[in-house]
Structure 1
Amino acid sequence: MTPSQRTLHRQARPRHARSSVPMRERGSVVAEALVILPVFIATVALVGMAARLVIAQQVTETAAADAARAASIARTVTTAQTDARAAADRSLADQGLRCAQLAVDVDTSQVGTPAGQRSTVTATITCHVALGDLAAPGLLPGTVRVQAVMTSPLDRFRSTTP
C-alpha cells in the first residue's frame, strides 16, 4: 500500500472507528458530569459556609475579650456594663459581623471588691448570625447561635473611686 492509499484508507474509516470508546458509551461523560457537578458545588458551598461560621465564632470571641477587657478597666459597675457593651458593638462592627440578635452579658459582681483582692469580670456574647450572611444573602433562612465567654482579671491595686 502506498502512502497516498494509506491516507485515503484513514480518511475512509468512520469517525467512531477512530475512538477507543465503544459507540454505546459515547456521551456518558456528560451524564456523569451532570450527576457529579451539583454534588461538587454543594460540597464546596458547605465547606465555605462552615469556614464562615468558624470566622463568626472567632469574631465573637474577640468581641467577648474586648468587652471583658473594657469592663475590667472600669471603676464602677455601671461604667463596666456600658463600656463592655460599647466595646462588643465596636469589635463586631469593625470585623463586619452582623448579628440578627445580640446579647452582651457582663458579670460585674466582683467589680466593687476591695483593692488587693483577686477578682475578674466575665463577658458573654451571644450573637444570632443569619445563615444568609454565612452562605449567600437570601439563600438560606434562619439563624445560627454563636456564643463566646471571656474573662479578664481586674487590677488588684486599682482605685475604685473616680
Structure 2
Amino acid sequence: MRARTQDPERGSVTLELAILAPVLILVLGLLVLGGRVEVAASAVEQAAAAAARAASLERSVAAAQIAAESAVDRETAARDIRCVTTMVEVDASGLTAPLGTSANVTVRASCTVTMADLAVPGLPGGRTITAEATSAVDRFRTR
C-alpha cells in the first residue's frame, strides 16, 4: 500500500475564492452604480431639454413653469427614473420680450436618485443629478 503524500497547494483555491468573492461583489456593485448614474444623467438631460421646449411654447411665465414641471415628471417616468426629489427652475423672462426680438427660455432640472436599494456597503443614500437646457422662443409669436 502506498502512502499518500500531502499536497501543499491543497485547499488554496477555496481560500482564494473566499478572499476574492467580496471584492468581486463590490466591483459588480460599483459597475451597477456607475450604470445607474449614467442612465439617470441621460434621462435628466433629456427631461431638461423637453421641459425647455415645452416652456418656450407657452404664452405666460406661470404656464411655462407648469409645463416645464410636467415635462420633467413625464420624461423621468417614461425612462423609469425614480427621483426622490425633483426641482425645476425656469427662466422664462424671454416670454416677456417684445415681439420681433430674439429670446430664450432656460430650464434647470435636478433629480435626486436613491442608491439605497443597491445594497453595497458604504454607498451614499442618493445622488443629485442636474441638467440645464435652453430653447428659443419664436420671435414673431404673440406673447
TM-score by length of 2: 0.90
- In the alignment, the residues of structure 1 paired with residue 2 and residue 78 of structure 2 have an alpha-carbon distance, to the nearest angstrom, of 69
Looking at structure 1, the residues matched to 10 and 40 of structure 2 have their Cα atoms a distance apart, in angstroms, of 47
Q: 1:153 to 1:23 in 2, by over 3 A?
A: same
Within the alignment, does 1:152 sit opposite 2:135 as a pair?
Answer: yes
Alignment-derived partner of residue 43 in structure 2: 59
Residue ranges of structure 2 left out of the alignment (5+ in a row): none
Deviation digits for residues 83-120 of structure 1, max 9, x if unmatched? 11111111111111111111110011111111221111
Please identify which structure carries the higher strand content. 2
Residue 118 (str. 1) matches residue 135 (str. 2): no
The count of residues paired between Structure 1 and Structure 2 equals 142
CA RMSD of aligned residues (A): 2.0
Local SS of the residue matching 2:82: coil
* Displacement after TM superposition at 1:24 (Å): 1.6
Distance 2:55 2:96 in 1: 12
TM-score in terms of structure 1 length: 0.80
Partners of 2:82 and 2:29 in 1: CA distance: 20
Q: What aligned pairs does 1:99-138 form with structure 2 within 5 A after superposition?
A: 99-133=83-117, 135=118
Q: Which has the higher contact order (CA 8 A, sep 6+)?
A: 2
Larger radius of gyration: 1
Residue aligning to 1:36: 20
Distance 1:149 1:77 in 2: 18
